[in-house]
Amino acid sequence: MTATALSHPARIEMIETIIVDVPTIRGHVLSMTTMQSQSVVLVRIRFSDGSEGLGEGASIGGLSYGPESVESIKLAIDSYITPALTGEDGNRIAALRALMDKTVRGNPIARAGVETALWDGLARRLGVPVSALFGGAIHERLPVAWTLASGNSATDIAEAERMLDERRHRDFKLKIGKRAVRDDIAHVAAIAKAIGERGTVRVDVNQAWSLQDARWGLKGLQDAGCILVEQPVGRDELSALRKLTDGYEIAVMADEALQGPGDAMRVAMAGPAADVYAVKVCQSGGLAPARDVISIASAAGIELYGGTMLESGLGTAAALQLFATVPVLQWGTEFFGPLLLTEDILAEPLHYQDFTVAIPQGPGIGVALDADKVAFYRRDRTRIQTAIAGQ
Ligand code: MUC
Ligand code: MG
């Protein structure tokens, strides 16, 4: 079976991209936008031997988080990546990555969606989980943090209490940066006090602070008992990030500053300018470049956190396959994306319990899409229905 799968090419016949928009369970208030729904691009590759591979490209808040949106991801794949890859052998992922890099500069999330589907296809043909292609899973489950971002301290505390009672999450990431620094610190202090020794509190500023804001902010945060601050200043402000990393006890984590291995190297060489990397599969450009970001961090003595672009169950499962192979994740993960959606689009949802999520077993990424839910949430649904009605 294995030898046969690799001895014949599996030519790429078709790459389908579908934008889905799924409402979130509540408004998700970030420094740059408030999300009421999450949009992702599902990528399905069909190969000449009849096999398929699934991937996902996701971003957050349209173009308010970063330089790619679901519309740009779909366009980059449909107009540039698909014509370049069609007819090529899907078993040769290294060659296809090189071809994608040559055809499309930047656009890591678009490349990640396709790259993930290539790994899924290859692993399915070989009958192994994607983790096997990255050296094999070391973990069966990974710890998962939850983001409190209702915009209201009392609501966030009630939500944290529920998560603790249900033993679903005990590490909490608070989204701040929208209000005055002083008000944000009061918000964090209230939540940290309510959680006490039962869990941990971290914050994500999503680049909203100046260096001066951040100096007051980090001092207040560590006094409030917060243990980590994510991307306090702009992604290009590496010298400010380094000052904060060196100047305070609280851990400083880079997120938006890391758009792939090149950035991982730059942040490492700037000091390092961060104590921890939030490694995101989409933002890194796929599973293999995310693995490269992890290797650079480890070599530079930077700690690791499995970050999310709030992918659906599909993209989250892909990330789980990779992070299951990483020996030590000092800060755990935030692979809770599907739990923020009113409905999961997987046939069988991921399993969250005891503050952890299980790595899906089975070939490929290890999950299947629910065709009816995808049909319901796909953005072009109305157009498709109108076309069918008009036939
Ligand atoms: C981010 O900036 O980390 C991840 C979790 C969450 O709530 O938002 C994202 C984005
Ligand atoms: Mg972040």
CB 92 within 8 A of CB 47: no
| Residue 267 clears pLDDT 90, i.e. is over it | yes
* Count helices and strands in the chain by DSSP H and E runs: 16, 13
Rg of the chain over CA atoms, in angstroms? Answer: 21
Residue 214 makes CB contacts below 8 A (sequence gap 6+) with: 205, 232, 233, 240, 244
Provide, for the chain, the percentages of residues in helix, strand and coil under a 3-state DSSP scheme, each rounded to the nearest 5.
Answer: 45, 20, 35
Nearest CA to ligand 1 atom 6: 147
3-class SS of residue 32 = coil
**Whole-structure pTM value:** 0.97
Distance 52 CA to ligand 1 centre (A): 30
| Residue 2 clears pLDDT 60, i.e. is over it | no
DSSP string, 247-260: H-SSEEEESTT-SS
Residues 279-306: what's their mean pLDDT? 98
Is 255's C-beta closer than 6 angstroms to any atom of ligand 1?
yes
| Residue 1 clears pLDDT 70, i.e. is over it | no
Extract the tokens encoding 62: 């349209």
pLDDT in tens, 111-128: 999 999 999 999 999 999
Q: What is the mean pLDDT of the chain?
A: 97
Residues 258-270: what's their mean pLDDT? 98
| Residue 287 clears pLDDT 60, i.e. is over it | yes
Ligand 2 ion: residues within 5 Å (CB): 204, 230, 255
> How many Å apart are CA 267 and CA 258, to the nearest integer?
8
Query: What ligand 1 atom has the least distance to the C-alpha of 173?
Result: 7
Q: How far is CA 183 from the centre of its chain?
A: 28
The 10 Å Cβ neighbour count of residue 336 is 21
Tell me if residue 334 is catalytic. yes
Sign of CA dihedral 171, 177, 182, 186: negative
The 10 Å Cβ neighbour count of residue 32 is 17
Q: Residues 175, 178, 243, 280: which is the catalytic one? A: 175
Please give the domain boundaries of the chain with CATH numbers for all domains: 11-128 (3.30.390.10), 133-369 (3.20.20.120)
Is 184's C-beta closer than 6 angstroms to any atom of ligand 1?
no
pLDDT in tens, 133-190: 999 999 999 999 999 999 999 999 999 999 999 999 999 999 999 999 999 999 999 9
